[in-house]
Structure 1
């Protein structure tokens, strides 16, 4: 499987910095509580200085959503939603150790992180503008079609594994107890993304090694080298 961003996105969002990680050997019984607590504390420290909406990482995504014709306060990137929930409820949701770890790191860095079950992806996966024919499966099992021009994670079988770019993942490839291999994608658009995203990648890779005793494959993609081969 190849993962990449379409050249149209590189053209329209030249500040984009994506990082990709592939890990095999995931199990639902790993203990990530210490790492989750550490990164959740870092996220709380960010929020102590002001609202998540004021963070440059979030502001960059709000501008990107606005450029796509979306209302940034109606459709929030994943990291903004996590920080907002943390500020309001005091905790992050607990779902699966891999998801919990990705959520905590995402909140700590204020950068969206997506985790997908590789076995549920049909062939190559590309982040691109939708044409409207793609099939998106909700967490309730219903099928939707993204709006034309919406950014999606589309596979070769024309399933969309995320809608509105970093807003909402699909239930089709959600991490579940049976997941053993996961593709993790982090994307930044803010001014210091070129240094922040690789640091997030190293941080997450280290936490995954500790939790599952597995060596993840990692890469930071660029317009000149846009493909991650799993």
Structure 2
């Protein structure tokens, strides 16, 4: 029997006006790649590249919304605080393709790049207890992907488990502890917006992500938190940009 799991949002996050979606998918079939998804990804990245430019990134309202959130919590603007969707698009502009990690990660990275919404996934079996989306106090452990462990910076919003370990800093960087691998079977997913992203946008992106994951990886879904009235019905519409 699956262990009960929940993810909640602290009042100070609500006060910042950060809309977020939490859901769990279990019994997934992840792997390095899938030929049909690779074909779809090539077509989608070609379409993104056709209209991608430094000017377009600078003018994007969703990306600008993340930077305004950082300003509100006095978070310095530098290369360590670039929102994940912006980093993906800059990588795409430079390399001509999105990073290749594994199928699950590649699926949400593609949809994140297309929608500009921050998306992440965490291996549920490696999370200690439940997750709280709250402001850090500086006592938490932060061990970012590809880097060494350190204390979290106080006053930042982050997703934190019951071992007081950060799972994701801002919408910027995930961690080694819960990274998704080819062996991952159960995932906790986060979709985070900002003041520019209404609930309809988040709902549509959630439905789109779930459908794509189920198409290629299977899995059952449990909605935990969302900003729309009926959590059991993400959406049937895809976002067009």
- The answer to whether the superposition gives a TM-score over 0.5 is yes
* 1:67 positional shift: 1.3
2:142 matches 1:139? no
**Alignment equivalent of 1:5, drawn from 5, 9, 28:** 9
- Residues 18-67 of structure 1 show CA distances to partners (whole Å, capped at 9, x for unaligned) of 12232222321552323433443453355259432211110100100111
Report the equivalent of 1:148.
Answer: 154
Verify the 8 A CA contact 1:117 1:179 in the aligned structure 2: yes
Q: What displacement does 1:223 show?
A: 9.9
Cα deviation, residue 184, structure 1? 1.2
Residue in 1 that maps onto 2:91 = 85
CA contact (8 A) 1:61 1:77 kept: yes
The 1:49–1:152 alpha-carbon spacing in structure 2 relative to 1, beyond 3 Å, is closer
What per-residue deviation string (whole Å, max 9, x for no partner) do you get for residues 82-124 of structure 1? 0111112211110110001110000000111011111111001
**Gaps in structure 2 of 5+ consecutive residues:** 232-241
Alignment of 1:111-130 (within 5 A): 111-130=117-136
- In structure 2, the CA distance between the partners of 1:49 and 1:218, relative to structure 1 (3 Å rule), is farther
**1:191 match: secondary structure:** coil
**Deviation of residue 125 (structure 1)?**
0.4
- TM-score, L = length of structure 2: 0.83
Q: Deviations over 1:118-137 (max 9, x none)?
A: 11110010111111111112
2: CA distance, partners of 1:162 / 1:150: 11
Q: Give per-residue Cα distances to partners, 1:129-174, cap 9 Å, x unaligned.
A: 11111111233463211111121211011111112x1011111111
d(CA) in 2 for partners of 1:134, 1:19: 23
Question: Per-residue displacement from partner, 1:177-214 (whole Å, max 9, x unpaired)?
Answer: 22111111111114343221111111111111110233
Q: For 2:75 and 2:61, locate their aligned partners in 1 and report how far apart those are by CA, in whole Å.
A: 19
Q: Which moved more, 1:190-199 or 1:110-119?
A: 190-199
Q: Which residue of 1 aligns with 2:29?
A: 26
Q: Work out whether residues 42 and 108 of structure 1, in 8 Å CA contact, stay in contact via their aligned partners in 2.
A: no
RMSD between superposed Cα atoms in Å: 2.4
**Stretch of structure 1 that moved more, 24-33 or 203-212:** 24-33
Structure 1: segments with no counterpart, 5+ residues: none
Secondary structure of 2:209's partner?
A: helix
What's 1:201 paired with? Answer: 206
The answer on 1:62 being equivalent to 2:67 is yes
Q: Aligned partners of 2:146, 2:39: CA distance in 1, in Å?
A: 31
Across the two proteins, how many residue pairs are aligned to each other?
223
SS at match of 2:220: coil
CA distance in structure 1 between the aligned counterparts of 2:159 and 2:86, rounded to whole angstroms: 19
Distance in 2 (CA, whole Å) between partners of 1:4 and 1:61 is: 21
Of the three residues 108, 111, 116, the one matched with 1:105 is 111
TM-score by length of 1: 0.87
Conserved? CA contact 1:19–1:187, under 8 Å: yes
